[in-house]
Amino acid sequence: MTVRVQTEPFDVSAGIAAITMGRTDIGAIVTFTGTVRGEAHGKLLASMELEHYPGMTEAELVRVEAQAHTRWSLQDTLIIHRVGMLMPGEGIVLVVVASPHRHAAFEAASFLMDYLKTRAPFWKKETALDGSGGWVDARESDDAALARWNLPHS
């Protein structure tokens, strides 16, 4: 299990290699990459800045990973989340899940993203090309997405 919070771009192939290198017991690898959309509220985006809570971010991502490992038989997981200034088209988050069979990997990757989006302390601030912008509002649909996993309240 690995979590990384970094300003640098990530490489999907390197992420896969990091958790599969030297192993032959893995039967399925699912990756999810979240990227910066170049448009928001009908305006072209200049950049997106990601703020986070150093310390809690890593702790929360570790809790997210641990939850997934209690629910599915997973051989390894990797979460990389970027912070700082990002440009349209750049990767924001990478999740890689390795398991013996595909269903666990698909479901765990989906779960990790739903859980991360509602729990990990990151905040996005958008700046449009015309200079307008502001903090991105949380989506109720993200809470609904998490609810389907029947997590205990904390």
Partner 1 sequence: MAAGSDTRPVTLMYFAWVREKVGVAREEIALPASVATVADLIGWLSARGPHYANAFAKPDIIRAAINQVHVKATASLASAREVAFFPPVTGG
Binding site for partner 1 (CB under 8 A): 34, 50-53, 55-56, 59-60, 81, 92-93, 113, 116-125, 134-138, 154
Least Å from the CB of residue 28 to partner 1: 22
> Maximum CA pair distance of the chain?
52
Which is nearer to partner 1, 75 or 122 (by Cβ)? Answer: 122
Is 57 or 75 the residue whose CB approaches partner 1 more closely? 57
CB of 82 to partner 1, least distance (A): 10
Helix (H) / strand (E) containing 45:
strand 43-52
| C-alpha span between 28 and 86 (Å, rounded) | 30
Shortest spacing between CB 125 and partner 1, in angstroms? 7
CA distance 71 to 91: 27
Q: How many residues does the chain have?
A: 154
CB-wise, 93 or 105, nearer to partner 1? 93
CB closer to partner 1, 36 vs 75: 36
User: Which residue intervals of 46-139 are DSSP H helices?
Assistant: 56-71, 102-119
Q: How far is the CB of 101 from partner 1 (least distance, A)?
A: 25
Q: Give the residue carrying structure tokens 């997106």.
A: 48
